[in-house]
Amino acid sequence: MWSADEIAELCYLHYRTRLPKQGKPDPNREWTSLAAVVKVESATQKEVLASPGNLQVMKEVVAMGTGTKCIGQSKMRKTGDILNDSHAEIVAKRSFQRYLLHQMWLAASHQQCSIFIPGTETGKWKLKPSIVFVFFCSHTPCGDASIIPISEPENQLSKLVTGDDAAGQSAECRSNRDHLGPEDKRKSEKMASNHIIKRMKTGDDGYFSVITEDLAFQQVSAKREEDTNPKNCECSGEMQTANKKTGLGRPKVVDVYRTGAKCVPGELGDARVPGLGYHCVGLLRVKPGRGDRTCSMSCSDKLARWNVLGCQGALLMHFLQYPLYLSAIIVGKCPYSQEAMQRAIIERCQHISFLPDGFLTQKVKLLQSDLRFEHSRQAIQEARTNSKTKLVPCSAAISWSAVPEQPLDVTSDGFRQGTTKKGIGSHQSRSKICKVELFHTFQKLVTNISQEDLPDTLRMKTLETYWDYKEAALNYQEAWKVLRSQALLGWVKNAKEYLHFT
């Protein structure tokens, strides 16, 4: 039907041809990450009978996002008009929700071009059976999926870490093993290994870059922490298996790629000892900020959540008979581990039970493409080997949705690019994918549908705030409660005060 390279190529072509120069990195000094949702539509049974042997799968990018930044907790707003998390994966997912809202409006208006068809319950819809959605990201998602083994040959050109550089610390948390479920305890194993690696201080946001032979970079926070706890670290099965093989077998694993994402407060922490024991795997993490701690969970954690709850969110669940799941997640050419992806996105939530009807612990396909994103950190670094200019992440994020009105949105620091301090709070400063804008689009959808055609959860209800509407999606909230209590125990939730806007 389709290959990982075909999906990657389609996304890269869309990025080059459909996104403007505004918001893209300056390739002389900047890099970014890319993510997208691709609609894959196969032929219907009717089309198969009408034209046997002449059928093609239709692939279309329906949402896209770029970005690498997150706002700190102090910049969060109670009006829902700022983007808290502008990592590419999250921008793409929110752009996808905007596309879904438009498709739901088409369905409710009885237009056949919608991706949705009527469900069996009043006011409920379901995805056409010929359609699936594939998620693409140019780099391994931050957090647990990015803790990838580094084998010995990759370090042959490396140098020993100096005393100052060895201060790379990535977590501000103490261990609390009591919070772990039996699944996490079962996976836990003691391990220790020395590492040889070369680090270079970038000066960007107080981070060090870890450099290996293939120029794969991962950020490591340079903030020094005293409360390390090396005794509770876990080592992945891939690392253990690899280290049992010597000689002509698989190369010995000597280190891991770092993630800048920090362990959630109050949960088991990273050991931060040199080598394989630096990180603990399978943990929930929050994204790093510029000195100010963020409340945004890592992309690995969010993908794990979507894999159980779906990508539609609580609001759209009012109108859907079943959650909308991704059928595959494809990663572009970069440091990658199938085991780390499997662990981070699927295995951490596989054991949960008693989900409401329709919700599943998905076994999403995980694939990697051999095609690299042209504006990735690695690609830009290789193209400018002789440059002395500091390489920095692009400050802008681009959102694109397959909708007829204003499909494009370029933001910086959570607001529309070009917003002045005076302009913050104005309608013009808002991204089309911020909470309040998506909420208002949802409310317009509800008001355009007659009371008798609304689903039970919205009929004759006095719902006012964003919080009210989210909480009224009872099956979604029940599924989220089960998932949090059984698998994602330390998830950092936004305080209610940030959700009580209208």
**CB-based contact 431:83 (threshold 8 Å):** yes
DSSP string spanning 4-22? HHHHHHHHHHHHHHHS-ST
The Cα–Cα gap between 491 and 432 comes to 26
Phi then psi for residue 435, to 5 deg, are -55, -50
Strands, E, within 251-356: which ranges? 253-256, 262-263, 285-286, 328-331
Catalytic residues: 89
Return the residue matching tokens 């694109």: 400
Q: Within 109-218, where are the H helices?
A: 182-187
Residue 344 one-letter amino acid: A
**Do 259 and 170 contact (CB within 8 A), yes or no?**
yes
Integer Cα distance of 70 and 397 in angstroms: 10
Instruction: Give the Å distances, CA to CA, from 113 to 46, 102, 106.
Output: 17, 11, 7
Interior angle at CA 20, CA 15 and CA 21, nearest 5: 100
Q: Which two tokens stand for residue 493?
A: 């939730």
Task: Say how far apart CA 165 and CA 224 lie, in whole Å.
Answer: 11
- Distance, in Å, from the CA atom of 8 to the CA atom of 336, rounded to the nearest integer, reads 15
Quick count: other Cβ atoms within 10 Å of Cβ 327? 13
Find out whether 438 and 94 touch, Cβ atoms under 8 Å: yes
* Measured distance CA(353)–CA(351) in Å, rounded: 7
Instruction: Tell me how far apart the alpha carbons of residues 410 and 431 are, in angstroms, rounded to a whole number.
Output: 8
